[in-house]
Structure 1
Amino acid sequence: MPSYLVEARHLSLTQTGVLAAIPMLVSIGTTILGGWLFDRFFHDKARWFLSAIALVTVVLLLLMLSAGSTTAFTVYETLAAGVFGLATMGVFGLPLRVLPPALTGVGAGIMNFGGQVAGAVAPVAMGWLAEHFSYSAAFGFLVVTTLLTAVIAFWVPQRAEDFSLAG
């Protein structure tokens, strides 16, 4: 996002730094709110909770991509980060809730590993797409991977009974 704001929106690095902080600050609160919502209202409806969040985020990413002004872009980016932040604790809490106790450690490790890999690969992929194609292609990558999140939420087992210990 910082490169986009500097190159396409012609902002200074200082302005970019301030605007880049806003979505992350909002997602701090929505992450906590999302954990509370997940525990309180979506305990047995994780796939609906996570898929709905992902689909709303896709809409906000598309609005962000088509934003006509830097202010609109920042508002949509902030809303997208805030809405997607609602899913964070559900994503980490679901495996702990549904895996057999003997697998919760490895399950949490795999979740963390996946998040770390995504955090390392996504900026490289987006940078490559922006450099070789366009910023639209880079944002399209975000849209496609967020749609994939909605699909995976329905594919991943949602109850402990759906898992079996191999061997």
Structure 2
Amino acid sequence: MPTYLVQERGLNLISMGLLQMIPAIASVAFYIIAGYVLDKVKVGREKWIGGFSGLGLALFVYLMFHAETVTGVIIYQSIIPIFSAALSTIIFSLPLKYLPEAIGGSAVGVVNLGMQVAGFIAPLTIGFVIDAFDGSFNGAVWLLVSFGVVCFIAFMTFKSGRENFISENPQTIPAVK
């Protein structure tokens, strides 16, 4: 976003830096809210929140990049953490909810590793896509929108393996009863 705001929207670095504080503060607030809300959601219902969040992410990324004004960009960018916080919180909590206590921590570690690798690969991929589109951000926008759609599809096809795991491994005590 910083490069986009400077190159495409004409902001100077100071203005861009100050404006980027708004979505960052919104992100902190929404992560706290997402954790609280998802603690209250019945086990097995996460798929609906995850699916909705994937679609919301796709929609607001599209709207952000097509906003008429910088104010619109910042507003949409500040709404996106509602959905990304829900997705991240769900993804981190699934191993703890569905796997035995003995391996829950290791599973969360693997999830964290995956997120760290994605955090490294995503900016490189977006840079390559922007280069492939001769400096246009259009390809990157559609890549990000497609990630939201993929999240939606993944969550809509998610089935709790908890019941199957317990019936196949009765000696294992589940993390959530």
Same fold (TM over 0.5): yes
Q: How much is the aligned-residue C-alpha RMSD, in angstroms?
A: 1.8
Match of 2:88 in 1: 88
User: Shift in Å at residue 91 of structure 1?
Assistant: 1.7
Say how many residue pairs are matched: 165
Note if 1:135 corresponds to 2:137.
yes
Alpha-carbon contact 1:47-1:153 (below 8 Å) kept: yes
* Structure 1 stretches of at least 4 aligned residues deviating more than 4 Å after TM superposition: none
Q: Deviations over 1:91-117 (max 9, x none)?
A: 211211101223212211111011101
Q: Report % sequence identity.
A: 29
User: Which ranges in structure 2 are unaligned for 5 or more consecutive residues?
Assistant: 170-177
User: Shift in Å at residue 157 of structure 1?
Assistant: 4.2
Partner Cα distance (2:52, 2:95) in 1: 19
Structural mapping, 1:18-167, within 5 Å: 18-133=18-133, 134-163=136-165
User: Shift in Å at residue 161 of structure 1?
Assistant: 2.4
Alpha-carbon contact 1:32-1:89 (below 8 Å) kept: no
Q: Which has the larger radius of gyration?
A: 2
User: Shift in Å at residue 44 of structure 1?
Assistant: 2.9
User: Which ranges in structure 1 are unaligned for 5 or more consecutive residues?
Assistant: none
Alpha-carbon contact 2:95-2:108 (below 8 Å) kept: yes
Scaled by the length of structure 2, what TM-score is found? 0.85
Partner Cα distance (1:129, 1:90) in 2: 29
Alpha-carbon contact 1:92-1:111 (below 8 Å) kept: yes
